[in-house]
């Protein structure tokens, strides 16, 4: 009999816990690293993560620890699911503990502030592993729905297709259907920019601007994501796939999306501080609107929706003024 695949998941937040369940349901032996002893104890003794999914029973082959060395030991896959802006510091602590041939898997959807690195680039930089040992999982994957074992598809990206196929097999369950892809750049950009567009759609929803505005923002948001992607060497077709359009539609339609909800609160007139105060989990677009805009400027790409979100979130621009400005931009053909 072959040995079960071992996976370490850092950390026991919303997506880390839900993806850990997926791996366990697919037959892996999963160790979840959590920062807080009470969460780890609840997972091990009560088989639930009370902070994120109270009432959801976790599989027996998923256990938790506060010891990163214990989590990392002998892992075939080391899955990283922390806020994008803390990854560098977290991984610097964990890198010496990684199993020698482990594949590092990013679940994160963000771009690092300052360096404008994608998460797989941060992983390569900090853990000093080659690109063919770094994979990305992305797509329309609202953690709460996945934890309820509701059906979803995803993409598993790695420049080495054989590695992507191994990860695909390790996370394929009756409710989670992963496809492989080798366009890591496109997958990561799709995920990071959709959070910014999710904020924009949330703002429009909060203002009561209607479904035509939503459809327009999703479509034009995808256009500007694709424009940046092409400049960065991504395959434009990736953006009409699960990591692009698929994720945008889920995020922009769902009250479960933290980015969408964050934007809705802003659109209803809450201040940034009030909105941050009622947001319990990571809404990546709040910081990534700045790094994505920075990335766009460095590549000479026009991203008017991203720029507008940045101005509303970080410069206090009124959403009403922002909508007027976006609508009065100079007329142009659709495909330019
Ligand atoms: N939640 C989802 O539905 C979902 C789905 C797909 C992708 N993602 C992406 O997954 C990533 C993680 O998001 P999440 O939803 O799990 O967020 P979360 O806020 O639910 O969990 C983040 C986790 O990181 C931990 N954490 C926070 N700051 C830390 C620090 N400084 N050091 C170490 N650990 C720290 C928290 O304790 C928590 O366990 C994000 O990039 C997000 O975009 C989320
Ligand atoms: O809750 P959000 O806005 O971070 O979105 C979660 C996932 O990325 C949806 O695929």
152 shares its domain with 208: no
Reported confidence tier of residue 239, pLDDT bands at 50, 70, 90 = very high
Please say if 324 is a catalytic residue.
no
What was the ipTM of the complex prediction? 0.98
Asked if the structure places residue 333 within a domain, the reply is no
Is pLDDT above 90 for 331?
Answer: yes
For the CA of 108, the closest atom of ligand 1 is: 41
Residue 259: nearest ligand to its CA?
Answer: 2
39 shares its domain with 130: yes
**Mind listing the pLDDT tens digit for each residue in 170-202?**
999 999 999 999 999 999 999 999 999 999 999
Q: What CATH number does the domain containing 207 carry?
A: 1.10.1040.10
- Size of the chain in residues: 336
Residue 251: nearest ligand to its CA?
Answer: 2
Q: Supply the DSSP string of 163-196, one letter for each residue.
A: HHHHHHHHT--SSEEEEEES-HHHHHHHHHHHHH
19 shares its domain with 132: yes
User: How many angstroms does the Cα of residue 14 sit away from the middle of ligand 1?
Assistant: 6
Reported as type and span, the H/E element at residue 70 is helix 68-72
Print the domain residue range for 316: 192-327
Verify cis geometry, omega within 30 degrees of 0, for the bond prior to 11: yes
165 shares its domain with 199: no
Q: What percent of the chain has pLDDT over 70?
A: 99
Asked if the structure places residue 334 within a domain, the reply is no
207 shares its domain with 95: no
User: How many angstroms does the Cα of residue 325 sit away from the middle of ligand 1?
Assistant: 34
Which pTM was predicted? 0.98
CA count, 13 A, side-chain hemisphere, 19: 36
18 shares its domain with 78: yes
Given a contact cutoff of 8 angstroms between Cβ atoms, the answer to whether 196 and 266 are in contact is no
Q: According to the annotation, is 15 in a ligand binding site?
A: yes
For the CA of 261, the closest atom of ligand 2 is: 3
213 shares its domain with 177: no
Instruction: Compute the average pLDDT of residues 269-296.
Output: 95
Reported confidence tier of residue 2, pLDDT bands at 50, 70, 90 = confident
Which residue among the candidates 6, 194, 287, 324 is catalytic per the annotation?
194
Residue 59 neighbours by CB under 8 Å, 6+ apart: 21, 24, 25, 30
144 shares its domain with 240: no
218 shares its domain with 158: no
Is pLDDT above 80 for 205?
Answer: yes
Alpha carbon distance 264, 275 (integer Å)? 9
Alpha carbon distance 113, 291 (integer Å)? 5
Q: What CATH number does the domain containing 82 carry?
A: 3.40.50.720
Asked if the structure places residue 335 within a domain, the reply is no
Residue where a domain terminates, one of 119, 152, 182: 182
User: How many angstroms does the Cα of residue 192 sit away from the middle of ligand 1?
Assistant: 14
Domains of the chain: total: 2
For the CA of 146, the closest atom of ligand 1 is: 3
Closest CA relative to residue 42, chosen from 28, 29, 55, 24: 55
Residue 39 confidence (pLDDT): 96
65 shares its domain with 154: yes
Alpha carbon distance 121, 260 (integer Å)? 27
90 shares its domain with 220: no
Pocket of ligand 1 (CB under 6 A): 11-16, 35, 81-84, 86, 90, 107-110, 141-143, 281-282, 284
């Amino acid at each position: 009999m072959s040995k079960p695949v071992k996976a370490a998941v850092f950390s026991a937040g919303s997506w880390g816990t839900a993806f850990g369940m997926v791996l366990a349901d697919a037959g892996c032996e999963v160790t979840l690293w959590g920062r807080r002893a009470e969460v780890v104890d609840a997972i091990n003794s009560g088989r639930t993560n009370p902070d994120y999914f109270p009432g959801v029973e976790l599989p027996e082959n998923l256990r938790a620890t506060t010891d990163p060395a214990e989590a990392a030991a002998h892992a075939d896959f080391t899955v990283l699911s922390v806020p994008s802006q803390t990854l560098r510091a977290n991984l610097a602590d964990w890198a010496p503990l990684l199993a020698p041939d482990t594949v590092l898997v990013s679940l994160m959807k963000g771009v690092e502030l300052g360096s404008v690195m994608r998460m797989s680039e941060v992983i390569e930089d900090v853990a000093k592993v080659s690109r063919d040992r770094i994979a990305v999982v992305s797509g329309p994957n609202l953690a709460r729905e996945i934890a309820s074992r509701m059906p979803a598809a995803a993409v598993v990206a790695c420049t080495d297709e054989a590695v992507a196929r191994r990860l695909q097999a390790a996370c394929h369950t009756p409710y989670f259907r992963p496809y492989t892809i080798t366009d890591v750049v496109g997958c990561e950009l799709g995920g990071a920019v959709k959070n910014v567009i999710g904020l924009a759609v949330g703002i429009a929803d909060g203002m009561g601007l209607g479904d035509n505005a939503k459809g327009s923002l999703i479509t034009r948001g995808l256009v500007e994501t694709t424009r940046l992607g092409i400049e960065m060497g991504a395959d434009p077709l990736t953006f009409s796939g699960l990591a692009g359009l698929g994720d945008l539609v889920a995020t922009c339609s769902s009250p479960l999306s933290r980015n969408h909800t964050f934007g809705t609160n802003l659109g209803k007139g809450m201040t940034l501080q009030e909105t941050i105060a009622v947001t319990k989990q990571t809404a990546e677009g709040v910081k990534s609107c700045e790094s994505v805009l920075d990335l766009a400027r460095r590549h000479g790409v026009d991203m008017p929706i991203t720029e507008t979100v940045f101005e509303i979130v970080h410069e206090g621009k009124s959403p009403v003024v922002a909508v007027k400005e976006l609508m009065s931009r100079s007329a142009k053909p659709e495909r330019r």
